[in-house]
Amino acid sequence: MWMIRAFLPGVWLLCLLLGLALMAQAQEETGQGQALLESLDSPSYDAKAEAIEAIIVSGDERSRRWLDELLGGKLQRHKDTGRFVIVLENRGRNWPVIDALTLEDAGEMSRRDLDGIGINNALRGQLQSALAMLDLYTDDVDDRRDAARELLGSVDAPMVEPLGEVIANEDDAEVRRLLDQALAIHRLDEGDIDAIAELAGSLNSRVRAALNSATRSDDPLVADAASAALADIEQKLRLNSGLETLYFGLSLGSVLVLAAIGLAITFGVMGVINMAHGELIMLGAYTTWAMQQLLPGQPGLALVLSIPAGFLVAALAGIAIERSVIQFLKGRPLETLLATFGVSLILQQLVRTVISPQNRTVVSPDWMSGSLMINEGLSLTLNRLFVLGFALVVFACLMLVMRRTRLGLEVRAVTQNRAMARSMGIRATRVDIMTFALGSGVAGLAGVALSQLTNVGPNLGQNYIIDSFMVVVFGGVGNLWGTLVAGLSLGVINQVLEPWAGAVLAKIIVLVFIILFIQKRPRGLFPQKGRAAEG
Amino acid sequence: MIPSNVYRTPRWLAVSLLSAAVATPVLAQEDPIKVGILHSLSGTMAISETVLKDTVEMLIEQQNAEGGLLGRQLEAVVVDPASDWPLFAEKARELLAQEEVDVIFGNWTSVSRKSVLPVVEELNGLLFYPVQYEGEESSENVFYTGAAPNQQAIPAVNYLMNNVGVERWVLAGTDYVYPRTTNKILDAYLKSHGVADEDIMISYTPFGHSDWQNIVSDIKEFGSQGKKTAVVSTINGDANVPFYRELGNQGINAADIPVVAFSVGEEELTGIDTAPLVGHLAAWNYFMSVDTDENYDFIDAWIEYTGDDMAVTNDPMEAHYIGFNMWTEAVKKAGTTDVDAVKDAIIGVTVPNLTGGYAAMMPNHHITKPVLIGEIQDNGQFSIVWETPSTVAGDAWSDYLEGSRDLISDWRKPMECGNYNVVEGSCGGSEAEVE
Amino acid sequence: MWLMQPFNEGATRLFLGVLLACLALVTVLHLAVPAGHPLHVSAYTVTLLGKYLSYALLAVAVDLVWGYLGILSLGHGAFFALGGYAMGMYLMRQIGDRGTYGDPILPDFMVFLNWDSLPWYWLGFDMPWFAFLMVILVPGALALVFGFLAFRSRVTGVYLSIITQAMTFALMLAFFRNEMGFGGNNGLTDFRELLGFDLRTDATRLGLFIATGVALAMGYVLCRAIVTSKLGRVSVACRDAEARTRFLGYRVERFQLFVFVVSAMLAGVAGALYVPQVGIINPSEFSPILSIEIVLWVALGGRGTLYGAVIGALLVNYAKTVFTGVMPDAWLFALGGMFVLVTVFLPRGVAGLLGYLQGLRFQGQRFNRDRNETQSRDISKEASA
Amino acid sequence: MSFLSSLADRDHVFDFLVPATSPVDVRHGPILYLEDVSVSFDGFKAIDDLNLTIDDGELRCIIGPNGAGKTTMMDIITGKTRPDTGSVWFGSRHNLLAMNEPEIASLGIGRKFQKPTVFEALSVFENLELAMAADKRILPTLTARMTGEVRDRIEEVLETIGLEELRNGPAGILSHGQKQWLEIGMLLMQRPRLLLIDEPVAGMTEQEMERTAELLTGLAGKGKQSVVVVEHDMGFVRSIARTVTVLHQGSVLAEGSMDQVAHDPRVIEVYLGADPDEEAA
C-alpha cells in the first residue's frame, strides 16, 4: 500500500483525465516523444513535475512505461549522444539498455556514460498517485482496491468530481467504500464535520491521521467530534495492539525455537554440547544465498529448494564434525564444548575468507514480503508468519521422527542405555551419526528461515548460540516439547516486556528470570522424573 | 589473496599530478616508509573494516607505482585487532613501538579509537580515522577524515525539515556513544527550531538487535498522527538489515515515513535486498553514484584491484583516499616522514576529493566535506537528491552541546590546544600537558 | 600454618622459582640492556607480558573451580571484568579535571551524557583502598549470591555452565547500557595515573608487570594451599562423588561456594591488574565468548594442575599475539585448530604432556582417571535429565 | 520453602553443626524407628506404609525381590528421599525427616551404596581421612592438620579392612571387593551408631565374602554400631543374619529368624515358590 502526500495541481489532474480519454486515438509522432523526455531531463524538480504532467496528457502509449521506468530510476540519458534509454540491469560497470523511444534493444552502455533522471520522494508520490488514478480504470479488482487505498488522504478538490464518477461506475463495494473514505478525508480537511461520521470507526491509519489533524482544527466543533471519533477508534485498537504483541512474541519465539530445536536434539538427546551449532545455522542461511545466486530471478523457487539443500548441507557439515571431532570425545561433554568452539571459530573464518566478510543479500520472494491484513488496523508481516508456520512444521516433523520412526526408537534406546542397545544389535555409532546429522540439518533449516529475517553473514551464528542454549535448558534438556514451550514463552515474555522496559532491559530481565528459574527447577520446565533423574 | 596489479591511467595520472609535484621515480634503496593498517579483519567489525584495509593497500600500491614517496617505497604493515578493543591499543603500540610505522590508517568504532588514543598520543604517532563519528574530541595525533556531526546529521535534518516538510522525528539508534551524542545534538537542534517535545521520539537498541517488530510498530503509530514523520537512524551496521526488512514488511515506505540513515552506505546495502527500501535516505559525504571522473577512476581502480566487477565503494573509503593523499602531500611538503614535521605541514593541505571538490585539513584536524543526501535505489546505489552548495568544515566540538559549546580546537602554533575554552580563555583537559 | 603448606612441595617451589626468575630476567633485560640491542626487552613487550600474567592469574582462578571442584564456569569473565571495572572507576576518578571537559568530579562520558552528579555507586572510588577493596568484594559478592542460589538447589554440570554463561551475558548487556553509568560501549579509558604513578611511563609499566607477577605467585600459592589442604581433598571428593561426600557429613554446597567465591575474587584481582596495562575496560570483557576462551586456556594447559592453567594462558595469548600479526587473515584458523587438536589429542593438556615426559605419571594418571570419572557422571546427568 | 526462610534455616545450622558424637537417646529401646512411611514416584508406590524398628546394637538383614523398595528405604533414612507420609526417628530424640544428608550423617548414620563409591582420585589413606569423624565446617577443614592420633585411627581401620599396603595408591585402582571394604572402612571412620549397608558382597569372591561376613558381625553389638544390611545373596545373609526382614512391594512381608522367614509361605510365594537361595543365585 502506498501513502501519498503529493498535492497534485488541479489543472494537471483535469489534463490527466482528458489525456486518459484521448489516449485511445492519440497519434504517434516521433519528435514528440524525444521532446517530452527532453523536458523531463532538467535539474529542477518542479520542471520535472511539469514534464510528467506533459507526458501523461500527451496520451503517448509509451508514457505508462516511461513513468514506471522513471519511478524505478531506469530511465536514463546518454551523456554524449543525448539519446534516452531504459536500463534493463543496472549492476556492474556496463548496463544493457533499450532505446526509450523505439523500445528496441540498444546493446550495452558504460555506466559512466549514462545520466540518470533523478527523482525525489515528492516526485515519486506524484508518479504513484498518477499511476494510481490510471489503475482505477484497470479490470483487476485487487489493483483497483490498492489504487483506491493509495488515494486515501491524497484527494484534493479537482479530483472530487471525477472520483465521484468512478464511484458511480464502480461495481466493487470495497473500492467504493475506500473511495468514499478518501473523499470523506478530503471533506474533513475542508472542515466538513459530517465527514467525521463517515470516518468514525475506521481503523485505517490514514483515516486516523486525518482525524488527528482535524483535532487541531480551529473549528472547536470539528475538533471535539474528531477527538471523540478517535477515542472510539483507540478503543477498538487496544484489542488489536494486544493481539499484535502476542503475534510479535510468538514470531520471536518461533525464531528461538527454530534456532534451539536442533540443539535440543544434539545436546538434549545425545548430550553433545555443540558450540558450532550457530555456525550450522549460518551454513543453512548461506545455502539459501547460494541457491538464489544459482537461480537468479526466482527467489521463491530458490528459497523452497534451499529448504532441502540447507538441511543437507548442514547435515553433512554436522556429520563431518561428528566424525572428525566429537566421536573422539564420547562421554566428555565439556571437552566437546571446547573442541566444537574451536570448530565454530574455524567455520566463521572459513566463510569470511571463502565467501566474504560482508553480509550477503538474500531476497525475499514476493509472497513472503509485505503483510497479511487482518483488519485495517492489524496486519501480520508475512515473512514472520511463514517462519512461525515453518517452525511448527519442523517441530511436528521432528516429533514424528523421534516418536514414530525406527531411528527415533534407536536414538532413545542408545541414549538411555548404550551398552544394552548395542547388545540388542543397534549400531550405536551409526545412530550417533544419524542423530547428529538430524540435529545439524534442523539447524540448517533454521538458517534458511533466518535468512528471511536478518543478516546473512559470518556472525549470524554467534547471535543465536547463547539464546539457543537458554531455550533448551529452560525447557528441560532432552525434551522437545520443553524446547517448544520454552522458546515460545520466552519470545512472548520478551515482547511483552519490551514496550515498557526497552529492548535491552527486556533481554536482561529474561536472562535473570532464566537463571532464577533454573535455581527453582534445576532441570528445566519439563524435567524427567523418577530415580533415573537422581544425579 | 587479492591480485595486486600495477595500474595507471592518464586520468589517474592527472589526479596525482594535481596533488603531486612530479613524483621522481627513484629505485628505493633506502628502507621503505612503513604504513600501519589497523583494521579488524575478524570478529564483528570485519564486515565493515576489511574493505578499508584493502583500500589503503591499494592506495599504497598506486603510490609505489608512481615511484613511492620521497623516492622511497611504501610498505603496508597489516595487523588484526580482531574487533577486540583492548587489542586495538595493544596493536597500535605494536605498530608504533615495534614496527615503528610512520603513520597509521585505522579504526572504525569510537570505542576502538578511544582505546587507541592514549597510545598514539603517548608514542606520538599519526592516526587517520576515516569514519563519521560523534565529535567531542580533538587529539594532536589524530586526523579525523570522516564526518563530524555538523557534516552529516545537521544538514540531513535540515533537508528533511525544509525540503520534505517533516514535523515529527524519530531518533532511532544503537545504544552507544555515536548515536547518543548525535541524537543529543539533533534533539537540541530540533528544539531550537521549534519542534515540540512530544514530536520527538528517541529509542535505543542493543548492538546487532534483530527483532524490530515492536519498535517499528511504535514508529508506525507515532507516524499516524497526521504530521509528516521521518526516522533519523543511527542504527549500527548489523542491525540495519532486520530493521529495514521489518519496515518494508510492516508497509512503511519512503514516501510515507522516510528513514535517513547515517551509517548505512553502499557496503551495508550489499547485504540488504534493497527493493523495499527504494526512496529511503542516507546522508554521507560521498556516494559511489557520484558522477565525476575522479570517482569513476577510483571505482575502476577498486574494481580492478579487488577483481570483483560488483565491488562497491563507500564513504569511509573516500575518507581514507583523502587522508592518504593528504598525508603523502604533507610528507612531500615536509620532506620527511617525521611525525611532528608532518603534523605541522598537513594543516592547510588541500587535495581533491572524489565528489569533484577539494578537501582541506583544518587546524582542528578535521577536514572540509560536502554533504550529500541520497535516496536508496533498487540496485543498492544512492541517487543524490540534495547536496550542500559548498563544503562544510568539521566541528570538533558541537555548538549544540552544553560544555563543548565554548570549546574550540586549533593545533597550530602557538595555541596547540585541542579543547581551548574561548570563555575562560584557557586550554583545559588532557592535551594541555602533552608536549 | 596451612598457607605455608605449598612451600614444602618441590613442584610449587620450582614454579615459583621459574616465575620469579622470569620477572627478574625481564626487568634486567628491560632496564640494563640498552634499547636497540637484540636482547633488549621493550616497554611494549613488558606490558604485553604483564597482560599475559594477569590472564594467567585468571586461568588459575578458573582451574581452581573447574579442575578441583568440577564446576565448569563459563562466566568467569564476569568476575574478571567486575574487578577491572572497579579498578577502572578508580583510575577514572584519578583523571580529575584533566578530562576533556575539565570537570573535576565527573568523567568525560558523564559530562556529555548530562549527568549532573556522580551516581552513588561511583562514590568512594577516588580512595585507592576502597577501590582495591571493591576489586575483591564486588566479584566475591556476585559469586556468593550466584553460587549460593546455584549450589543450594544443586544445579550441576552443564546446567551450571549454561547459567554462568547467562549471568555474564546479562551483565554484558547491562553494562552496554549507557544509563548504567559505566560509559556504555566505550567503557572506561584514557587513564592517567595509578597511586600517583603516571601510567604512560615505562617505569610504571615495569612496576605493573612485576606487581602482576607477584600477584600471580601469591594467587598460585593460595590456590595450591587450598588444594593441598584437607579442604582441597574434600573439593575433589565433591567433584567425584557428590552424594558420597554428603553422606560423610560434609555440606557440599558450602565447600563449593567457598572455593567458587575465592576463585571469583582471584579473577577480580586479575581484572584489576589487567585494566591499567591495556588501558581500557569495556563491556566486551563480559562477552561469553571470552569466558569460554579462558576455559580453553586451562584445558589446553592441562586442567586440575594450576601450573597447567598458567602455561595454557601464556601459550594461547602468545600465539594470539603472534598470529594476529603474522597471519592476520587466517589466525582464527590456527587458534580454532589448536583448540580442536588439543582437546582431541591432548586431553590432559600441555601439563599432562609435561607430566608424562617427566615421568610424573601419578599426578597424570590419577587426574586422567578422575576426569573420566567426572565426565561419565556428567553424561549420566545429561542422559537422566 | 521460601528463599529467605531457607537462608535463615541454613545459618541456624551453620552456627553449630550438630557434632558427630551427639548422644543418641536409646534408653527407650530402638535406635531406628520407621512408622507408616510411604513414598511414590510418578504414581508408583516404592514404599507403602512401611513400619520398621531396629534395636541398638542389632544386626539386621533386609531381603526382598527387586523393586521391593530396599534402596528407597535407605534413601529415606539418610535423607536423600523425602517420604510422602510417615515418620522416621533416630533414637527417641532425632526426627530424621527434619534433617538433610550431612546432618543425618553427622548424627552417626553411615551409609554404604549399592555400587561402591569411593573417591577414586584420592588415595586410600585420604579416603579414610575425609571420612573420619571431625569438625566438618569449612575453616576447620581448611586448616585441619594430620595429628598422630588421627593417623593411628586410620592405620587401625586400614588394618581392619586389610588395605594397609595399598594405603598410598589411588582408590581408583582398587578391585571391586577392595572398594567395598574401603567404603566400609570409611563408614567405620565415621564412628557411626547405625550402619546402612547396601549389598556389601555383590561381585565378591567366596573368600572376600567370608571376610566381609566376619567384618560385619564383628561390628554389630550392644553399645557398638547397629548394622542394617540389604542383600540379595541368601547364602551370605544366612551366614550373618540373626533377624531378617522381608520387604515386598514397599512394605514388610515377614520378619524373624532366617529359618522362619525362609519357610514362611508368603515369602516363598513372593519368591515364586522357589527356595530363596536359588532365587537369589
d(CA D148, CA D144): 13
Least confident of A255-259, C343-347, D23-27, D111-115: D23-27
ipTM score of complex: 0.81
Residue pair C325/A339 in contact by the 8 Å Cβ criterion = no
Least confident of A141-155, B230-244, D253-267: A141-155
Cα nearest neighbour of B279 on chain A:
A121
Phi-psi region of A504 (alpha: psi -120 to 50; beta: other; left: phi over 0): alpha
Give one DSSP letter per residue of B189-239, joined into a string: HHHHTT--GGGEEEEEE-TT----HHHHHHHHHHHTSSS-EEEEEE--GGG
Q: Does B80 touch chain C (CB under 8 A)?
A: yes
| Nearest neighbour of C98 by CB, restricted to B89, B119, B430 | B430
Q: Does A124 touch chain B (CB under 8 A)?
A: yes
Q: Tell me, what DSSP letter sits at residue D43?
A: T
| Band (C314; pLDDT cuts 50, 70, 90) | very high
Inter-chain Cβ pairs, chain C and chain D, closer than 8 A: 101
Cα A120 to Cα A1, A70, B280, B389, distances in angstroms: 19, 11, 10, 18
User: What percentage of chain B exceeds 70 in pLDDT?
Assistant: 91
Q: Do B42 and A244 touch (CB under 8 A)?
A: no
Q: Does C242 touch chain A (CB under 8 A)?
A: yes
d(CA B99, CA B35): 10
Better pLDDT: B48 or B130: B130
Mean pLDDT value across chain A: 81
Residues of D in contact with C366 (CB under 8 A): 121, 170, 172
**Cα of A387 to nearest chain C Cα, Å:** 26
Q: Tell me, what DSSP letter sits at residue D123?
A: B
| Band (C327; pLDDT cuts 50, 70, 90) | confident
Mutate to test the interface with B, among A120, A281, A504 (most CBs of B within 10 A): A120
pLDDT at A513 over 70: yes
Which single residue is written with the C-alpha cell 549492476? A91
3-class secondary-structure state, position B252: coil
Q: Do B42 and A349 touch (CB under 8 A)?
A: yes
Q: Do B41 and C329 touch (CB under 8 A)?
A: yes
The set of chains that have 3 or more CB pairs under 8 A with B is A, C
CATH 1.10.3470 domain extents, chain A:
240-360+382-529
Q: Do D141 and C237 touch (CB under 8 A)?
A: no
Average pLDDT of the residues in B339-368: 91
Whether C and A touch (3+ CB pairs < 8 Å), yes or no = yes
Of B225, B170, B199, B166, nearest to A209 by C-alpha is B225
Q: Does A497 touch chain C (CB under 8 A)?
A: no
**Cα of C158 to nearest chain B Cα, Å:** 27
Q: What are phi and psi of D256, to 5 degrees?
A: 155, -165
Q: Tell me, what DSSP letter sits at residue D170?
A: B
pLDDT at B277 over 70: yes
d(CA C152, CA C107): 41
Whether B and D touch (3+ CB pairs < 8 Å), yes or no = no
3-state secondary structure chain C: CHHHHHHHCHHHHHHHHHHHHHHHHHHHHHHCCCCCCCCCCCHHHHHHHHHHHHHHHHHHHHHHHHHHHCCCCCCHHHHHHHHHHHHHHHHHHHHHHHCCCCCCCCCHHHHHCCCCCCCHHHCCCCCHHHHHHHHHHHHHHHHHHHHHHHHHCCCCHHHHHHHHHHHHHHHHHHHHCHHHCCCHHHCEECCCEECCEECCCHHHHHHHHHHHHHHHHHHHHHHHHHHHCHHHHHHHHHHHCHHHHHHCCCCHHHHHHHHHHHHHHHHHHHHHHHHHHHCEECHHHHCHHHHHHHHHHHHHHCCCCCHHHHHHHHHHHHHHHHHHHHCCCCHHHHHHHHHHHHHHHCCCHHHHHHHHHCCCHHHHHHHHHHHHHHHHHHHHHHHHC
Residues of A in contact with B208 (CB under 8 A): 459, 463
C-alpha cell at B125: 604517532
pLDDT at B407 over 60: yes
Q: Do D80 and A531 touch (CB under 8 A)?
A: no
Whether C and B touch (3+ CB pairs < 8 Å), yes or no = yes
Domain for residue C328, yes or no? no
3-state DSSP: chain D helix, strand, coil percent, rounded to 5? 40, 25, 35
pTM tops 0.90, yes or no: no
Q: Which domain holds residue C162?
A: 2-289
In sequence order, what are the beta bridge partners of B142? Answer: B127
pLDDT at B432 over 50: no
Q: Do A359 and B270 touch (CB under 8 A)?
A: yes
Positive/negative CA dihedral, A417, A420, A422, A426: negative
Which single residue is written with the C-alpha cell 524435567? A527
Of A488, A277, A283, A506, nearest to A388 by C-alpha is A488
The yes/no answer on whether domain A240-360+382-529 falls in CATH 1.10.3470 is: yes
User: For chain D, which domains are there?
Assistant: 31-280 (3.40.50.300)
Q: Do B98 and C44 touch (CB under 8 A)?
A: yes
Cα C361 to Cα C67, C121, C355, D119, distances in angstroms: 17, 51, 6, 19
Hey, what amino acid is at C294? I
**Cα of B2 to nearest chain C Cα, Å:** 12
Domain for residue C193, yes or no? yes
Which single residue is written with the C-alpha cell 539519446? A83
Average pLDDT of the residues in B132-151: 89
Domain for residue C20, yes or no? yes
Domain for residue C117, yes or no? yes
Please compute Rg for chain C using Cα positions.
Answer: 21
Q: Does A487 touch chain B (CB under 8 A)?
A: no
What letters, b where the CB count within 10 A reaches 16 and e where it falls short, cover A317-343?
bbbebbeebbebbbebbbbbbbbbbbb
Q: What is the pLDDT of residue A1?
A: 36
| Nearest neighbour of A519 by CB, restricted to C155, C156, C375 | C155
Cis amide bond preceding B414, omega within 30: yes
C-alpha cell at D124: 586410600
d(CA C67, CA B390): 66
State the helix-helix crossing angle for C331-345 and C288-301, rounded to 10 degrees: 50
The set of chains that have 3 or more CB pairs under 8 A with D is A, C
pLDDT at A463 over 90: no
d(CA A372, CA A382): 6
Largest CA distance in chain C: 65
> In a 10 Å sphere around its CB, with 0-12 CB exposed, 13-18 middle and 19+ buried, how is residue D249 labelled?
middle
The set of chains that have 3 or more CB pairs under 8 A with A is B, C, D
Residues of A in contact with D41 (CB under 8 A): 529-531
Q: Does C145 touch chain A (CB under 8 A)?
A: no
Q: Do B176 and C329 touch (CB under 8 A)?
A: no
State the helix-helix crossing angle for C361-384 and C230-240, rounded to 10 degrees: 40
- Chain A, residues 498-527, CB within 8 A of chain C, namely 504-505, 507-508, 511-512, 514-516, 518-520, 522-524, 527
User: How many domains would you assign to chain C?
Assistant: 1
Q: Does A242 touch chain B (CB under 8 A)?
A: no
**Helix and strand totals (H; E) in chain B:** 12, 19
Residue count of chain A, please give it: 535
Q: What is the pLDDT of residue A16?
A: 53
User: For chain B, which domains are there?
Assistant: 10-147+290-369 (3.40.50.2300), 150-289+373-393 (3.40.50.2300)
- Chain B, residues 85-124, CB within 8 A of chain C, namely 85-87, 89-91, 93-94, 97-98, 109-111, 114-115, 117-119, 122
Residue pair A80/A38 in contact by the 8 Å Cβ criterion = no
Q: Does B28 touch chain C (CB under 8 A)?
A: no
d(CA B397, CA B23): 38
In sequence order, what are the beta bridge partners of A444? Answer: none
Q: Do A527 and C159 touch (CB under 8 A)?
A: no
Domain for residue C353, yes or no? no
Average pLDDT of the residues in A478-507: 88
Of B229, B279, B237, nearest to B257 by C-alpha is B229
**Cα of B428 to nearest chain A Cα, Å:** 36
A266-280, C97-111, C253-267: range with highest mean pLDDT: C253-267
Least confident of B190-194, C97-101, C341-345, D240-244: C97-101
Average pLDDT of the residues in C267-286: 91
Q: What is the pLDDT of residue D10?
A: 44
d(CA A486, CA A469): 11
d(CA D18, CA D103): 7
> In a 10 Å sphere around its CB, with 0-12 CB exposed, 13-18 middle and 19+ buried, how is residue B11 labelled?
middle
Chain A residue set in contact with D, beta carbons under 8 Å: 529-531, 534
pLDDT at C272 over 90: yes
Domain for residue C333, yes or no? no
Residues of D in contact with A531 (CB under 8 A): 41, 72
Render pLDDT for B153-201 as a digit per residue (tens, 0 to 9). Answer: 888 999 999 888 899 999 998 888 888 888 988 998 999 998 888 899 9
- Chain A, residues 404-433, CB within 8 A of chain C, namely 415-416
Cα nearest neighbour of D168 on chain C:
C362
Q: Does A439 touch chain C (CB under 8 A)?
A: no
Q: Do D138 and C254 touch (CB under 8 A)?
A: yes
Hey, what amino acid is at D107? L
Domain for residue C27, yes or no? yes
pLDDT at D209 over 70: yes
